[in-house]
Chain A
Amino acid sequence: MSGVRVLVGTRKGAFVLNSDGKRRNWEVSGPLFGGWEIYHLKGSPVDPNRIFASQSTGWFGQLMQRSDDGGLTWAPIGNQFLYDGVTGTHQWYDGTPHPWEFERVWHLEPSLSDPDTVLAGVEDAALFRSNDAGATWTELSGLREHGTGPSWQPGAGGMCLHTILVSPQDPQRIFVAISSAGAFRSDDGGVTWRPINHGLHSEGLPDADAEVGHCVHRIALHPSNPDVLFMQKHWDVMRSDNAGDSWVEVSGNLPSDFGFAIDVHAHEPETVYVVPITSDSQHFPPEGKLRVYRSRSGGNEWEPLTKGLPQSHCYVDVLRDAMAVDSLEECGVYFGTTGGQVYASANSGDSWEPIVRDLPAVLSVEVQTLA
């Protein structure tokens, strides 16, 4: 029988939530790595029993873990993320040059075809790849060294590479996004890169239409049409129909176009989900109402999804990696909050129920659809 496994990274450990395909009854296990920040866990699409996890604290730095039995047991893997060559500098918050310094792994993206290959997006922004199931990591330094790196500047959360998307139709095509540098694309498997930010407009920049410097929060795509990208920028929800060559705003009737998370329905490439957040200085939902907004038209027209979500006195945030979808026949949608709730919808967002309510602040949510 089919089922789903939800992988939840929090400020104080990881949790694994299991259910059958009905998604009514959940078994919650954890915390794994209690007390550690788990920025992200993600399973291999090739071998769902293989899961990679990023484990860190400000005290003891970065560790990496891997499970080969669906999260039951874990073992440490390589945690040496050494930048390639002379790293040079990026801009610090005050605009002065600042040397590149590794801080943590924000996002893991296992290969679509090889269970031993996984990409890692790190802070300070860079992309690493392992071809040996995480034992060793090598920087794809063409990204950091393509030319605009010295002008990159950290966002409030650090200068993080948080989004990695590999085209299911062309594994040589990789998209990444960096706060606050913008979006970048490689068409040769990560060797060479170029910015893809034309059409982004960020009033916080001296040049609002600059080639780089945009605070992209998250990008999502649908596997059937990977040239169409949906972006939640710091402000503005954006869309590209040409693999990022140009972007148009599709915020439409959203109550706020600030937010972090964005995702696409598993079976409907034009159905998109966002969670509007009040503003850059008020990281909670407008009016204290937790609403997922769904567009069935690829943007611009959005409908609030509220059934089962708190509609008063709710002041949580939903972070950039904290939304995911399953691929069951009726698409499931999941998101976690900084208040420790993980909500699930088994009907494409029409209604929601909390799986758990009182976890530590949720940093990431990923879903594995199990045969």
Chain B
Amino acid sequence: MIRVVLPAHLKTLAQVPGEVELEVVGTPTPRAVIDALEDRYPVLLGTIRDPRTQQRRKFVRFYACERDLSLESLDVALPQAVATGSEPFFVIGAMAGG
């Protein structure tokens, strides 16, 4: 079970009050987590990554275990603490503008 923390606007869209818990088949990677997230909440399609290129949107970041994973490959395995559910995977709306 993977725990995912969404930014406020995406929680509103997905109508979830807090963390999201997802089952991810196979090795948990950022791509697998986002795939599972979009599968569970189709309203989030296009909000985290471009629907055509599948690239992370430029003002969205991925954090876990006090590390910024945004610039790493989407196919690298997430830290074990995220894979086991002891730490969440954060989807962050970058602090910019207002």
Cα distance A57–B13 in the bound complex, in angstroms = 13
B46 is contacted by which of A35, A58, A80 (Cβ under 8 Å)? A80
| A82: contacting residue among B7, B13, B52, B59, CB under 8 A | B52
Q: Which of A55-106 contact B (CB under 8 A)?
A: 57-63, 76, 79-80, 82, 102
Asked if B13 and A76 sit within 8 Å, CB to CB, the answer is: yes
Q: Is the CB of B9 within 8 A of A79?
A: no
Which residue from chain B places its CB closest to the CB of A79 in the assembled complex?
Answer: B46
Contact A36 B59 (CB under 8 A): no
The reply to whether A36 and B9 form a contact with Cβ atoms under 8 Å apart is: yes
Which residue in A57, A80, A82 is a CB contact (below 8 Å) of B9? A57
**Complex Cα spacing A79 to B49, Å:** 13
A80 and B10 contact, CB distance less than 8 A: no
Contact partners of B43 in chain A: CB under 8 A = 63, 76
Q: Which residues of A contact B97 (CB under 8 A)?
A: 58
Supply 12 further A-B pairs (C-beta < 8 A) apart from A60-B60, A82-B52.
A58-B96, A59-B96, A60-B47, A61-B46, A61-B47, A62-B46, A63-B43, A76-B13, A79-B51, A80-B46, A82-B51, A102-B52
Q: Would you call B57 and A60 a contact (CB within 8 A)?
A: yes
Roughly how many angstroms separate A58 CA and B58 CA in the complex, as a whole number? 9
Min C-beta distance of A256 to chain B, whole Å: 31
**B48 adjacent to chain A (CB < 8 Å):** yes
Which B residues fall within an 8 A CB radius of A? 7, 9-10, 13, 43, 45-48, 50-52, 57, 59-60, 93-94, 96-97
Is the Cβ of A60 less than 8 Å from the Cβ of B45?
A: no
**Cβ contacts under 8 Å, B47 to chain A:** 60-61, 63
Q: Residues of A within 8 Å of B, CB-based: how many?
A: 14
With both chains docked as a complex, state the minimum distance between the C-beta of B95 and any C-beta of chain A, in angstroms: 10
Contact A60 B93 (CB under 8 A): yes
Inter-chain CA distance A58–B51, complex, in Å, is 15
Residues of B contacting A60 in the complex (Cβ-Cβ under 8 angstroms): 9-10, 47-48, 57, 60, 93
- With A36-B9, A82-B51, A82-B52 already in contact, the answer to whether A59 and B46 are too (CB < 8 A) is no
Q: How far is the CA of A80 from the CA of B94 in the complex (A)?
A: 23
Which of the residues A58, A63, A80 comes within 8 Å of B59, measured between beta carbons? Answer: A58
Contacts of B94 in A (CB 8 A): 59
Instruction: Report A16 CB to chain B, min CB distance, Å.
Output: 18
Closest to B94 in A: A59
**Residue on A nearest B48 in the bound complex, by CB:** A60
| B13–A59 touching, CB < 8 Å | no
Measured CB to CB, the nearest residue on chain A to B97 is A58
The interface centre, meaning the residue of A57, A60, A102 with most chain B CB atoms within 10 A of its CB, is A60
Alpha-carbon gap, A35 to B51, bound state (A): 22
Structural contact, A59 and B52, CB atoms closer than 8 A: no
Specify which chain A residues have a CB less than 8 angstroms from the CB of B52 in the assembled complex: 82, 102
Alpha-carbon gap, A62 to B13, bound state (A):
12
Task: Write 22 A-B pairs (CB below 8 A) sorted by A numbering.
Answer: A35-B9, A57-B9, A59-B7, A59-B9, A59-B57, A59-B59, A59-B93, A59-B94, A60-B48, A60-B60, A60-B93, A61-B47, A61-B57, A63-B13, A63-B43, A63-B47, A76-B13, A76-B43, A79-B46, A80-B46, A80-B51, A82-B51
